[in-house]
Amino acid sequence: MKNFIFISPNFPTNYWLFCRELKKNGLNVLGIGDQPYDELTPELKDSLNEYYKVSSLENENEVYRAVAFLTYKHGRIDWLESNNEYWLERDAKLRTDFNITSGFQVSDIPNVKFKSRMKEFYKKAGIPVARYHMVDTFENCMAFAAEVGFPVVAKPDNGVGASHTFKIENEEQMKQFFDLKWPNTSYIMEEFVNGEVNSYDAIIDSKGEPMFETGNITPMSIMDIVNKADNSIFYILKDLPDDTRAAGRATVKSFGVKSRFVHFEFFRLLKDQKGLGKKGDLVALEVNMRPSGGVTPDMIDFAHSTDVYKIWADMIAFDRSTMPVGKSAYCAFAGRRDGKDFIMSHKDIAEKYHSNIKMMERIPDVLSGAMGNQMYVAVFPTREEMNAFYNDILNCKE
């Protein structure tokens, strides 16, 4: 029996489903988390063969001792994974320390975590990238902005999501950025790309071949959603465009991805942009070597009448899956921000869209910055019906 250590199986709350499918496939599923065992959901308890509680997953030594104990008790660990961006580097260090060869090692992490390093792999895949400058002095950054033109975007080179991202439109805002940026943190500054984010989401087998593929679109900038406390929308595509599929597969090959659930992001240009391409072309944004966050795996299931938790667990256990993909549709996410005077009430939405809605829940505070406070997930056969839903959900009173 193969031993699988799942880091933080209780958060995000839907990740117990990965554990359930692993256990169904005959793996010995060992969880490490900081939530007391008695507080775990019954479903998660039933999906684990053993659970080791640590006082904090931030405590590297304590997590190391947990892996050592589980190794001593159960024997060699075959897999260790969190499927979580936040723990990607920790996962790699634990694999390296315990000679777990089925995933990224410490030496792999710079290429998949640092935005500046990602660009070379995107270029190798034949995908255009935005020009960039590693933030050093105010004068040099102003010179870069003069070269590419305002606005420019600055963000931590090794960062999660849109945290501490700045859109800089003039010299005064450049000065503000230098006042506000985190000390001892490396920042990358890029030319602004006028595009909407298109993703390639896939489960890749041990040979680097896709077992399942889909994609989503974020019409609004996550950076603006976070910085302006705006509403949040994105949707799973009914059909993955051919160019996104080709770009995603080329990126998989370039990075040498194997045995992973991935979420790659591209800009689709909204207008011609010198040096990058024509309106509608794809430009590289960044790679994420884990599933798209929050409830996205559930949304993928709703959109394609399938079960990506099972497909992923089948990849781990068998390197193949017989899980069918059924009839496809658009699956829309809308995250409403508290404090806005919306035309339609929660009750109105529930009544009008009861046959479409799959989920209506409050969003955990830790995720609300990028996703809003109240979410609605609904499925629609056409883009027109989805757009009408978004208009109803997000329209505010004058």
pLDDT tens-digit readout, 227-256: 555 888 999 999 999 999 999 999 999 999
Residue 42 burial (CB count, 10 A): 8
pLDDT of residue 228: 53
pLDDT of residue 221 exceeding 70:
no
Residue 198: band (very low, low, confident or very high) from pLDDT cuts 50, 70, 90: very high
Mean pLDDT to the nearest integer, 207-235: 80
Mean pLDDT to the nearest integer, 323-340: 94
Residue 213 burial (CB count, 10 A): 18
Residue 162: band (very low, low, confident or very high) from pLDDT cuts 50, 70, 90: low
Q: What is the pTM of this model?
A: 0.94
Average pLDDT along the chain: 95
Mean pLDDT to the nearest integer, 350-354: 97
pLDDT of residue 225: 47
Please give the share of the chain, as a percent, with pLDDT higher than 90.
Answer: 89
Mean pLDDT to the nearest integer, 156-174: 89
Mean pLDDT to the nearest integer, 264-269: 97
